[in-house]
Amino acid sequence: MISAAALMLVAAPAVQVEAWGSSGHRVIGVAAMRHLPGDLPAFLRTAGAAADVGEYSREPDRWKGAGQPHDRERDTAHFVDMDDQGRVMDARGMTMADLPRLKSEYDAALIRAGLDVDKAGYLPYAIMDAWQNLERDFAYWRVLSAAEAREPDLAKQAWYRADRQRREQLILRDIGVLSHFVGDAAQPHHTTIHFNGWAGETNPERFTTSRSTHGDFEGAFTSRTLRQDAVEAAMIPMSIEGFDVRARTASHLNATLATVIPFYRMEKAGAFKDTDPRGAVFVTERLAAGASELRDFVSAAWRVSASSSIGWPAVKVAEVEAGRVDPWTSMVGED
């Protein structure tokens, strides 16, 4: 009943909720789920699953307030502040294409450059981590489903079934967390040093420096203008051939960074006042970009999971699905 109510909320012609932080994330999650391709598992392509992901998409915001070190470590996952040339913080930082392999290496490189890790943010790593977690759970789901279908021992079959069902709940939460960070990466203010009014020593176009810029955009304006149907209509076709999570994450963030100056020009022209259609189009395009990317990230994780190895001792997903390997010990554990 809760899932159905949530879906009714986001499926309405106009969504009236408190802010981008809730409405935007819900809409991105629901839109992506409603446009998943038909080769993904059926449990994902239901109204209830879409509504659940819409709610789980808010989870990283709802984690806040737990205390330290939790908050400092997680709050900086929501953004990466790049300058106008696409470097983290300023000319001393790296581009998205040059990100180190590990977040610890990223932190160390920023510190060596004299930059503040906490102010820089680490959104690209949050996206990649969430995607890799989803791929793992998809791989386990494939193995559990295949084993359940073939297992003649009723007790073992029941265990496979129960673990598959647990995995399905984990997958919905995985997608929700991924949705949140992919959605953050579609919001201009989460990719720039100009995250709340124009920052820096120069301001040649005399953009606003108001510290309410970010909140005004995410809040009242978005809640007045956001439409689920318009977001879904603005989504672009799926594109996952040759998908590489690192390269795709970088391109998504850079594409959003390219909308920062247009945003400030529109703000200067009054496009984000009342229900100005120019601002509504901008909101729709940004949310549609997030939903399109989320759909593609989820679809790519499903595809990659087919060639994975999981469990201990490790078993190949393809071997289990073909019926050539019994995964029981690898799934249950040797002990």
Instruction: Tell me what the mean pLDDT of segment 88-117 comes to.
Output: 98
The SS3 call for residue 195 is strand
Angle, in degrees to the nearest 10, between helices 260-268 and 277-305: 160
Q: In angstroms, rounded to a whole number, what is the distance separating the alpha carbons of residues 233 and 170?
A: 29
Q: What pLDDT sits at residue 35?
A: 98
68-79 confidence digits (pLDDT tens): 999 988 999 999
15-19, 188-192, 306-310, 330-334: the lowest-pLDDT one? 15-19
State pTM to two decimals.
Answer: 0.93
Which stretch of DSSP H or E encloses residue 268?
Answer: helix 260-268
Domain residue ranges of the chain, discontinuous segments joined by +: 24-81+121-332
Q: What pLDDT sits at residue 21?
A: 65
190-247 confidence digits (pLDDT tens): 999 999 999 988 999 999 999 999 988 987 788 888 899 999 999 999 999 999 999 9
Q: Which fold has domain 24-81+121-332?
A: P1 Nuclease (1.10.575)
12-26, 178-192, 199-213, 265-279: the lowest-pLDDT one? 12-26
Both structure tokens of 233: 């209509």
Q: What pLDDT sits at residue 274?
A: 83
Q: Would you say residue 12 has pLDDT above 90?
A: no
Q: What percent of the chain has pLDDT over 90?
A: 87
Q: Are 179 and 185 in contact (CB under 8 A)?
A: no
Residue scoring higher pLDDT (73 or 248): 248
